[in-house]
Amino acid sequence: MSAEEICYLPARELARRLRVRELSAREVLQAHLDRIEQVNPQINAIVTLTAERALSEAAAADERLARGEEAGPLHGIPVAHKDTHDVAGVRTTYGSPIFADHVPGSDTLVVERIRNAGAITLGKTNAPEFGAGSHTMNPVFGATRNPYRRELSAGGSSGGAAAALAAGLQPLAEGSDMGGSLRNPASFCNVVGLRPSPGRVPTWPATLPWEALCVQGPMGRTVADVALLLSVIAGHDERNPISLDEPAAPFAGSLDADLAGLRVAWSPDLGGLPVDPAVSAVLEPAVQVFAELGCRVEPACPDLASADEVFRTLRGWLFHAGFSGLLEEHPGKMKQTLADNIAFGATLSGADIARAQTRQLELITGMREFFTQYDLLLAPVSQVPPFPVEWEYPETVAGQPMHDYLEWMRSAYSISATGCPALSVPAGFTGDGRPVGLQIIAPVRGELGLLRAAHAFEQATGYGNQRPVF
């Protein structure tokens, strides 16, 4: 088996071969290190590489297996972690010059769980400054480029993770999602990204104990691989008060399911958002696949009119809580758009935040009622296909001006405000070769049904099988 073949094996199959010793952890790691050396300079996805540490971990993993010790579900699988997530002893910059030389002393919980499952730490993947924005560029490492067309953005904020997956640099990835940061880069890079329900993947450390807008979650090249990683990182943690005390093991099982009779709503613009015609042209035929799978598909959209106010208010509050002290300590060291978000947060009153939370409850209630009539909602992940890597954000969408670096992400962040789990699955390519993802949305805590539906779509279409050319 060639190194490239190893690098593109599905994570579930790779894990199986490692457990039965058809492949060694050292062999798998070396294949990925060779691939990184060949490809990463062209896309800048992995920004810190821990090759020596990884080689030592891989050797230790092989030795444990040779002694007959039990192998974890991710035994020997190399994983690079998002550069906004702490890894003990590994440079973690958050994409900020303030932390350019920062080396944390402990792992974040999601990293800890992945490592405890047997994964090998490969390094760190690129992210925008403090994860702010859905285009991966920062003053420490520069921009991450799209593996399918290197002059385009890989999306963000988990753009380095998505690009590394698409390019065969790692089999699995973790990321975070406030306004689309797992879904948008998955859409741009032709991979799968899942934003779970709040509490499904507990976050620790955390700034605010009940915060539910930003979640962490899995990415992979297939839906089944995403489900495998979810089975590792999900589950209760007593330090996080909103973490769900539900078993995660079912996610690692078979996702095969008959979708006949499923009630599916399709909203091409989520209530009137501007959508690039190139995106619509890809998604319209993709949606019909659900009808071919036996689903009852009809046009429908929940009332998301208040989602913009809810998201922007709560995001501003969270950014002020998390970064205002840092901005005061290091004036002029943050990108202006991020500083503006923090400043907006400072203007919010208790009444503003209470109103946003009240309106969010109305959104959640409306979605619950919507999902008594439908099992799933289909929509665009992103309102645009990948755009030039030099841009901070697209200034127009379908002829309508975008007033800031958030507005073009409304198709993703409107769903964030509802608390519903949502997944981006490859849905095809534009005429000029830009990937487009389909967003599948399920009721709160409905991840298993969501994964099964996405798996069926993926198996019926095979869009995710198309690889970038280097």
DSSP 368-432: HHHTTT-SEEEEES-SS---BTT-SS-SEETTEEP-SSSGGGHHHHHHHTTT--EEEEEEEE-TT
Q: Which two tokens stand for residue 388?
A: 């030039």
Active site residue 82: yes
Confidence of residue 144 (pLDDT cuts 50, 70, 90): very high
Please choose, from the candidates 150, 231, 136, 229, the residue with its C-alpha nearest in 3D space to the C-alpha of residue 184: 136
Q: Which amino acid is at 287?
A: V
pLDDT of residue 147: 98
Q: Which amino acid is at 387?
A: F
Handedness of CA 404, 409, 414, 418 (dihedral sign): negative
pLDDT of residue 226: 98
Identified catalytic residue from 181, 306, 382, 424: 181
Q: Which two tokens stand for residue 261?
A: 């009779």
Confidence of residue 207 (pLDDT cuts 50, 70, 90): confident
Active site residue 181: yes
Q: pLDDT above 70 covers what percent of the chain?
A: 100
pLDDT of residue 90: 98
Identified catalytic residue from 82, 124, 158, 416: 82
CB-based contact 258:246 (threshold 8 Å):
no
Identified catalytic residue from 157, 231, 243, 414: 157
Average pLDDT (272-288) is 97
- pLDDT tens, 224-253? 999 999 999 999 999 999 999 999 999 999
pLDDT of residue 209: 87
Active site residue 306: no
- pLDDT tens, 39-51? 999 999 999 999 9
